[in-house]
Structure 1
Amino acid sequence: MSRAALLVLADGRFPAGGHAHSGGAEAAVKAGRITGAADLEEFCRGRLHTTGLVSAALAAAAASGADPLDLDEAADARTPSPALRTAARRLGRQLLRAARSTWPTPELDALARQFPKGTHQPIVLGRTARAAGLTPEDAAYCSAYENISGPATATVRLLSLDPFEATGVLARLAPEVDAVAARAGEAGCRAAAFGADELPAGSAPLLEIGAEAHAGWPVRLFAS
């Protein structure tokens, strides 16, 4: 196992398409729920412990070898917003393209054949981590970190927030990322062994509502 592979996969410059998505931050900024670093921290904390935990557990389950079809159905059930399901599949397609070029394996090729229109991004992330020789907890870490780093980076652009402040938010949340990744890793392994019902199902209704409103905007900076 190469620990450096985790750095490659978690790098924001990895061509997985995440730069085009704000993780709900654009809608939250417009609604006045994010106005600065303190609001951003609370937004990221809430996201991390709800949808972030779910995504990280899905990634860990995929890395553990769980059936992608079962995980796809579980992800759909845990994502009420059609706009967010569409965004997750779009990100999954882009990540799979990058992953097949970076860590080519028959398993990733099979995933592409099984889901020609794309599956949810965390499922692809977990399978990519597996192809890179990483552990289920590594996949959970990568997913949990992406769930807060995306909104933080987007908010720098949306509010002209000082990048040092945004990075400080991520650093302060690091212990909580540790806890979420550990919990998600355990849940993902249970799901691989006993079925997708073992996955957490935390929700963030304002993210879902914001995503539906955001999808109808005629002008927007981010895809989601």
Structure 2
Amino acid sequence: MDISPAARHYVRRLLVEHPAIRSYINRDTHPLGMKEEYLERYIHLEHLTYPQLNQLEFIIELHQKIRINEPHQTHQLQRLEQKIFDLLGIELPIAPHSYNTIENSPSSCDWLIKPQNDPSRHEAATLSEYYHYFRKITEVATPHLDKMLVTNYWLLTRPRESWLAKIQVAQFYNPTFKPPDQLLAEREAATLQQWICDFIQHCCRILPSLPRLLLAANIPCQLLWALVG
């Protein structure tokens, strides 16, 4: 398995922007100069397993969405770049960027974090909003996994907190269910986000492409951030 041509192109663009790579290429007498094809020498995928290739594609797509929609989130973007380079086996220092040079087609991403450098922080959220996320994630996962398996994974990964007993997994399949519009405390929202993360990671044992499917379904980036590792 290989990554998509679009993902390879994006990696080459990240490489050509990195100061260390740019400096090296500028000194090189290779006739291709700064052409992106020359950067292929840095992209090695042979050592990656199938789940790692899926993770690489997911991180690339997540970086692209955040860069388009929230370019001021430089800390998150730099961390994603470092993870991409680590997976490729490239030793490069974290470099500052102005994240405005890559041209991409528009896409949407509900990046709900506050303007600090901590993606685990939460804006005020409601239980109704999280029911929507649970239903959407269930909707994406169920066609690829057995419904009973999806239900069991939700139950298996549910945090052991008493207040979560009122959240019925059966309602994740019911689009007409109207949960209370209860405002969540930051700790409660963090607990629900951890539940979602644990569920996705459990599903990834069978369906490694699930994070990418969720990203394509416009699940908020903040709910997927913990999957970066």
TM-score of the alignment, normalized to the shorter chain, above 0.5: no
What TM-score, normalized to structure 2?
0.28
Higher relative contact order (CA 8 A, sep 6+): 1
> Which structure features the higher share of helix residues?
1
